[in-house]
Amino acid sequence: MNQRIIVTGAAGFIGSNIIRGLNQRGFTNIIAVDNLTNGDKALNLVDLEISDYLDKHDFYDALLVGRFGKVEAIFHEGACSSTTEQDGRYIMTNNFETSKKLLAYSQHTGTRLLYASSAAIYGASSTFREETAYEKPLNVYGYSKLLFDQIVRRALPTLTTQVAGFRYFNVYGPRERHKSGMASVAFHSFNQFMATGSVKLFGAYGDYKAGEQKRDFIFVEDLVNVKLWFFDHPEHSGIFNLGTGKAQSFNDIAVTVVNGVRQMQGFAPLSITDMVSTGILEYIPFPDKLRNKYQCFTQANMHQLEAIGCDVTFHDVPQGVSRYVHDLFARHQN
């Protein structure tokens, strides 16, 4: 397949999984764009087939002068994804300004743009629907994503080609090792348990009991399948939530991780009561620095995605995290 595709953030968690999904469909004419200051990210590209790699600092100028010829689609995953980053100028340059350049390019050339937004846009809201009334970011990262979504919203009536934004909820799965502190709770729970025999979660906060804060956790494979569904359906543009539509607790994640490992070690599963009483599951005080900046509950309203006929099925936590734990355990053993 000779269609040229660009993936920004290509060596990152989601970008590399998108390339994997494209490779599985036979797409290899892929230009990967990233910043490899963190060289460990390069390992995410080792088993993938691409046609070229560019540093992000060289890419945008090259794109705008037409260096790459006809480009079918851009999967724009490149961004600073740290919700605790306080340098607003850096965030806005890295997340907002670059996205605007790609939008202008797509409308000028007919290249389709499938880009990463974020559920951080909802922030303090308790309703997670793609409407302005519920968009209340708690940090500059969330604001940078919201501002670009607003630009896209205004452009929707006059678009000349597909532009679709996806508000990712809590994504987990293979190829996130380089993310360190920003990696998923499933990843951290696995590594804690393998290293110490226990898993630590936040204690009670607000109206939520210890470990009962809930998020909409989505397996990265499902996220990629949705993005590829849109790649197959260029007639659909807009801004869409991308979660499962079902909130599950951090306790659910920890229990699934621990019992997944125990199963592979030949031990019987434990209840959460057993885990707490034996110290396998520990709760730590909720950090002061996260107070009033933390989403204790997220659950994607999936109506807009369902309304256009997207038929991707999603793994729940027991299914998706169990698969992920098997992958992590196999790598840990090697």
- SS3 sequence of the chain: CCCCEEEECCCCHHHHHHHHHHHHCCCCCEEEEECCCCHHHHHHHCCCCCCEEEEHHHHHHHHHCCCCCCCCEEEECCCCCCCCCCCHHHHHHHHHHHHHHHHHHHHHHCCEEEEEEEHHHCCCCCCCCCCHHHCCCCCHHHHHHHHHHHHHHHHHHHCCCCEEEEEECEEECCCCHHHHHHCCHHHHHHHHHHHHCCEEEECCECCECCCCCEECEEEHHHHHHHHHHHHHCCCCCEEEEECCCCCEEHHHHHHHHHHHHHHHCCCCCCCHHHHHHCCCEEEECCCHHHCCCCCCECCCCCHHHHHCCCCCCCCCHHHHHHHHHHHHHHHHHC
179 is a catalytic site residue: yes
Mean pLDDT of 168-173: 97
pLDDT for the residue 85: 67
Question: Of 56, 101, 136, 179, which one is the catalytic site residue?
Answer: 179
145 is a catalytic site residue: no
Question: Of 105, 115, 141, 143, which one is the catalytic site residue?
Answer: 141
pLDDT tens digits along 86-107: 778 988 888 999 999 999 999 9
pLDDT for the residue 197: 97
pLDDT over 70, % of the chain: 99
Mean pLDDT of 146-152: 98
pLDDT tens digits along 47-85: 999 999 999 999 999 999 999 999 999 999 998 777 666
